[in-house]
Amino acid sequence: MAPHTITLAGNIDSDGFRREARSLLAALVAPDQVDWVIDAGAATQRFSRPAGPAATRGAASAGITHPLVPRSFMSMCETVILHNAPLRFGLLYRLLWRLVHEPGLQHDPRDRDRVQALHMAQAVRRDMRKMKTLIHFSVVADAPGAEALYLAWFDPDHHVVEAVAPFFARRFAQLRWAILTPERSVRWQGQMLEFGPGAPPNAAADGLDRYRDVFEARAARRQPVINSDRGSAPAQNSRPGSAP
């Protein structure tokens, strides 16, 4: 087992990864000395929390406290973290370590680690495009006299739900809608994006019951709501079928 075990607060804990990677670099902890794990009990959390105790605390003066890395690498990290491969955090830290200690790496288009990370980022972007273009909403009546609810089911290959949800909030800002997926669900009721646990594959057949189970029966355990950044794109009033 690696001497340093870093526990991240969920599958897309990019804040936690950046914080821990900086501490590890500062303490000159090599990539092969780190084991990255995800807190199974917090796998559905949106925001990161402090990771478990690490031997890197208090050692900032030992190594590199402000590493200079290409901006393109930081952008790629945000995308690769959404991939479903467990090795992604180890790969990204190894790349970060190498970029700091091997400045010429950024100019080597055939480096194995770089190529692997770029392929993973491409896979995530494809999955995000699929979610935006293939989702089809169906209208359901979830309560007498209530505003129509547009409900959809999608099974992404990667952890892209939270990254793509603001697109739908902007696109269908005037409507009530929800998207159920096996890992994560999201709904919009006009003001905020609200995330909840996933729904099983048969949610496509009994979607309304699954929607109620995720967002109403489990109301006491709801995840924090998140601003949708509505101002970043003009809202449209079109009725959702397949989102553009």
Reported as half-sphere exposure (CB side, CA atoms, 13 A), residue 30 has a value of 3
Q: Could you tell me the two tokens for 24?
A: 């590890």
Amino acid 44: pLDDT: 45
> Among 22-31, 105-114, 177-186, which is the least confidently predicted range?
105-114
Token digits for 76? Answer: 């790629």
Average pLDDT, integer, range 38-52:
48
203-217: pLDDT as tens digits: 556 778 888 888 876
Question: With 70 as the cut, is the pLDDT of residue 15 above it?
Answer: yes
With a pLDDT cut of 70, the percent of the chain lying above it is 75
Please give the pLDDT value at position 53.
37
Reference 21, options 39, 1, 6, 40; nearest CA is 6
Q: Report how far residue 57's alpha carbon sits from residue 62's, in angstroms, rounded to the nearest whole number.
A: 11
Q: Tell me what the pLDDT averaged over the chain comes to.
A: 80
At 126 the pLDDT is: 98
Q: How confident is the model at residue 116 (pLDDT cuts 50, 70, 90)?
A: very high
pLDDT of 48 reads: 27
Average pLDDT over residues 78-97: 96
Q: How far apart are CA 164 and CA 167, in angstroms?
A: 6
pLDDT score of 181: 94
The pLDDT value given to residue 119: 97
Which three-class secondary structure string do you get for 8-35? ECCCCCHHHHHHHHHHHHHCCCCHHHEE
- Alpha-carbon distance 170 to 150, whole Å? 15
Res 84 pLDDT > 80:
yes
pTM of the model: 0.79
| Mean pLDDT, residues 35-51 | 57
Q: Which of 22-31, 43-52, 182-191 has the lowest mean pLDDT?
A: 43-52
- For 214, residues 6+ apart whose C-beta sits below 8 A from its C-beta are 180, 185, 196, 197, 198, 199
Q: Which two tokens stand for residue 10?
A: 């969920």
For residue 198 the two structure tokens come to 């996933």
**Statement: residue 76 has pLDDT above 90:** yes
Output the pLDDT for position 109. 83
Q: What is the mean pLDDT of residues 113-131?
A: 97
**What average pLDDT score do residues 218-224 get?**
51
pLDDT surpassing 80 at residue 22: yes
Q: How far apart are CA 100 and CA 96, in angstroms?
A: 6
Q: Is the pLDDT score of 187 beyond 90?
A: yes
Q: Are 194 and 228 in contact (CB under 8 A)?
A: no
Alpha helix stretches (DSSP H) within 69-148? 71-80, 88-101, 112-134
Report which of residues 182 and 222 the model is more confident about: 182
